[in-house]
Chain A
């Protein structure tokens, strides 16, 4: 990793964090640049949220280094950050608009400016007519949108969103996606943590995959997909495809009537074809190398890591 770079929004270098005997983060590094949507991926308990919390100075790392906007976190930089945590919540017994205005003023806006920004966002997210309601009276989806307003109202330069689509219907998911993309297009930096791989595939320029506290995959999404080309195959036919050597995961036939098989690291499609052809309980109508989706790559890398760990 380069020395701390002032053109990089976030630099995270070899972070380590333990809670008692539990090593939540062992070795995580990544950089995030202005104008990109950066995906933070990983299974549950991998250390994503702990990494985000160290990045935002909520926790101090045991080792490693974090630089935000070219240096350590300080009070002034907090005004340039919008964070939507996974543990969501707003003051439930307070009214929507004054609460959002209060939070925006805490982020450095004057009260009139905060009112103006909040009104604009309330209108855009169809919450304006609910502005005088207490937050607990709003639906879960509305509260989620209110949380997004609290994250965006002060026009942050760095937006950190943890599972931004959870609890949203498809319409609102599309709206939130659009807003996140707009932020990136406007030159803001977006760090997004999610389990929804298709969203990552559609939105993220680059990703880091964290597993058991380690960054195990890092780089541009298109490069990673190229690197993992040939790690999945599509097979139409009959028989048990789930328990075949070299196959990590077999997804039953979808609309196209073909099984999708994610391959173990090192496994080659031609070896798999040979194995399948030799099995009397399997018949093959069609066999083709599939472009690896992030889902396949996620499974390949995470399960591959675990297999290696158990072998060791």
Chain B
């Protein structure tokens, strides 16, 4: 096992030191950072330290409400509209609200500003002050309840799922997670294809064959590249968590994000067999084809099988419990992504989850088993692809009959 570990470490370090890996891994955090920077820039660009004014002709706003709300000096009362207008034109306030005498009947409020309306946060503070004033005299709990409004939570019958207006962001998370996890699996499996072809292209196969067993070599490579995938995911998750933490400070809607523990468990359960399934396929492709380019073309087609749910996204959104959704949940190559997409849309029946995971795991085991056999048969097959009969012979556990007869025997 020491040799498999050495291969794993070598593959891991070789891959993470590549510029292409750094670019692929850091692109997402950079995107998040850019988004946050833009948000902060826009927020700062619009900030105006000057207070707001108000003219309360209806006699609604109370001093208590003003003091309980935003900063004490955030709102300046004016006795008349002319005085407020003069202050606005003098630049002492950024805008002023006018509550006309008939406000209690009409509910109409006027806002006057010179060029730009004050930011949402200032307007929310004024609303809060107005509500607090209107509710003055009511018990505190009633004031609080009315101020918070209604938070509607939709819950499934079995209680496994719920969707609340306040945590709408949790609908998006499984979808985003699905995209990133599948992308990670596909890209690291792509590295595996490259890693398998490397020994053939570099003519190092024979050295490796007299150094360690094919099983240790392939296990080491797969483990190393799994670690690469996990590193990439760790960087992305860390970036996402950091982004959410920073974003929550700026955007209250993000504070409602909850850690989707059940979803995380499902992701963990599906991640390994999905990786093994596509990893086995990539190893087999890398072993069959002599040229990297040929292998990549076939691998590209294979990737489509895993990405298929994205192509029928509209159907899945329209009918997340329909036959196509169920079929794709059960089909091994599409199960991971389909489950993640459906997660935010419906309650996936437990039997579908169990059967889909079982089928995925069985396919993954078959894929790894076949890959190991094809790898052994193809490892010394320089300059030409492994023929169909040779692949069948390898899968039956026989020596590939025509493998070396056509041009490989060098002496």
Is the CB–CB distance between A87 and B212 below 8 Å? no
Report B183-223 CB contacts with A as 1/0, cut-off 8 Å.
00000000000000010001111111111110000000000
> Is the Cβ of A19 less than 8 Å from the Cβ of B404?
yes
Is B411 a contact partner of A20 (Cβ separation < 8 A)? no
For chain B, residues 357 to 411, give those with C-beta under 8 angstroms from any C-beta of chain A: 380, 382, 399, 401-405, 408-411
A-side contacts of B202, CB under 8 Å: 89-92
Which residues from chain A contact B404 at a C-beta distance below 8 Å? 19, 24, 50
What's the interface size class on B, roughly?
Answer: 20 to 34
Least distance between B246 CB and chain A CB atoms (Å): 38
Q: Is B14 an interface residue (CB 8 A)?
A: yes
Given contacts A24-B404, A58-B209, contact A50 B203 (CB under 8 A): no
Given A44-B411, A90-B202, A90-B204, A19 and B209 touching (CB < 8 A)? no
Indicate if B7 sits at the interface (CB-CB under 8 A).
yes
Residues in B neighbouring A94, C-beta threshold 8 A: 14
Closest beta carbon of chain B to A16's beta carbon, Å: 13
Select the stretch in A103-111, A254-262, A277-285 that faces chain B: A103-111
A20-B402, A90-B204, A91-B204 are contacts. A58–B198 as well, Cβ < 8 Å?
A: no
Q: A90-B202, A106-B6 are in contact. Are A75 and B213 (CB under 8 A)?
A: yes
Which residue of chain A has the shortest Cβ distance to B208 in the bound complex?
Answer: A106
Question: A115 an interface residue at 8 Å Cβ cutoff?
Answer: no
* Tier of interface size on chain A: 35 or more
Contact partners of A78 in chain B: CB under 8 A: 210-212
Most buried by B among A22, A87, A105, A107: A87
In the bound assembly, the distance between CA atoms of A90 and B408 in angstroms comes to 19
In the complex, whether B3 has a CB less than 8 A from a CB of chain A is: yes
Answer whether residue A49 sits at the interface, using C-beta atoms and an 8 A cutoff: yes
| Chain A: minimal CB distance from B15 (Å) | 12
- The answer to whether B409 touches A91 (Cβ under 8 A) is no
Interface residues of A in 43-77 (CB under 8 A from B): 44-50, 53, 56-60, 75
Judged by DSSP, the binding face of A is loop
Cα separation A91 to B203 with both chains bound (whole Å):
8
A87 and B6 form a contact (CB under 8 A): no
CB neighbours of B124 from chain A (8 A): none
- Closest-by-CB residue of A relative to B10 is A102
Docked pose: A85 CA to B211 CA in angstroms = 13
Partner of B411, one of A19, A45, A107: A45
| Residues B6 and A58 in contact, CB atoms below 8 Å apart | no
What per-residue 1/0 map shows which CB atoms of B1-39 lie under 8 Å from chain A?
Answer: 001001100100010000000000000000000000000
For the complex, give the distance between the alpha carbons of A273 and B98 in Å: 133
Contact B401 A106, beta carbon cutoff 8 Å:
no
By the criterion CB–CB under 8 Å, are A89 and B203 in contact?
Answer: yes
In contact, B409 and A86 (Cβ under 8 angstroms): no
B220–chain A nearest beta-carbon distance, Å: 10
Q: Kindly report which residue of chain A lies nearest to residue B17, judged by CB atoms.
A: A94
Hey, which chain A residues are within 8 Å of B10, CB to CB? 102
Asked if A233 is an interface residue, CB under 8 A from chain B, the answer is no
In the bound complex, how far is the Cα of B14 from the Cα of A81, in angstroms? 26
Q: Which residues of A contact B382 (CB under 8 A)?
A: 87
Provide the residues of chain A in CB contact with B207, threshold 8 Å.
Answer: 83, 85, 103, 150
In the complex, which of the residues A42, A45, A83, A102 contacts B409, with contact meaning CB atoms closer than 8 Å?
A: A45
B204 partner residues in chain A, CB cutoff 8 A: 89-91
Q: Chain A residues with Cβ under 8 A from B213's Cβ?
A: 75
Residues on the A chain within 8 Å of B403, using CB: 19
Q: Does A171 touch B at the CB level, under 8 Å? A: no
Q: Of residues 101 to 128 in A, which have CB atoms within 8 Å of B's CB atoms?
A: 102-103, 105-107
Asked if B212 and A106 sit within 8 Å, CB to CB, the answer is yes
Would you call A312 an interface residue if the criterion is a C-beta within 8 Å of the partner chain's C-beta atoms?
no
Determine the distance from Cα of A49 to Cα of B402 in the docked complex, in whole angstroms. 17
**Which residue of the partner chain B has the closest CB to A22?**
B405
A19-B403, A49-B410 known; A106 and B203 CB under 8 Å?
A: no
CA distance A44 to B198 in the complex (A): 27
CB distance from B279 to the nearest CB of A (A): 21
Instruction: Say whether A274 faces chain B, with CB atoms less than 8 Å apart.
Output: no
Determine whether the beta carbon of B399 is less than 8 Å from that of A60. yes
Partner of B380, one of A45, A47, A58, A83: A58
Please tell me which one of the listed residues B7, B203, B399 contacts residue A87 in the complex, with CB atoms under 8 A apart.
Answer: B203
A244 to chain B, nearest CB (A): 32
A50-B409, A150-B207 given. 8 additional CB < 8 A pairs? A19-B403, A19-B409, A50-B411, A53-B206, A60-B399, A87-B205, A91-B204, A103-B211
Residue contacts A-B, CB under 8 angstroms, 29 given: A19-B401, A19-B403, A19-B408, A21-B405, A24-B409, A44-B411, A46-B411, A47-B409, A49-B411, A50-B409, A53-B206, A56-B209, A58-B209, A59-B380, A60-B399, A75-B212, A78-B210, A78-B212, A81-B210, A83-B210, A85-B203, A85-B207, A86-B410, A86-B411, A87-B382, A89-B202, A89-B204, A106-B7, A106-B212
Binding site for B on A (CB under 8 A): 19-22, 24, 42, 44-50, 53, 56-60, 75, 78, 81, 83, 85-92, 94, 102-103, 105-107, 150, 193
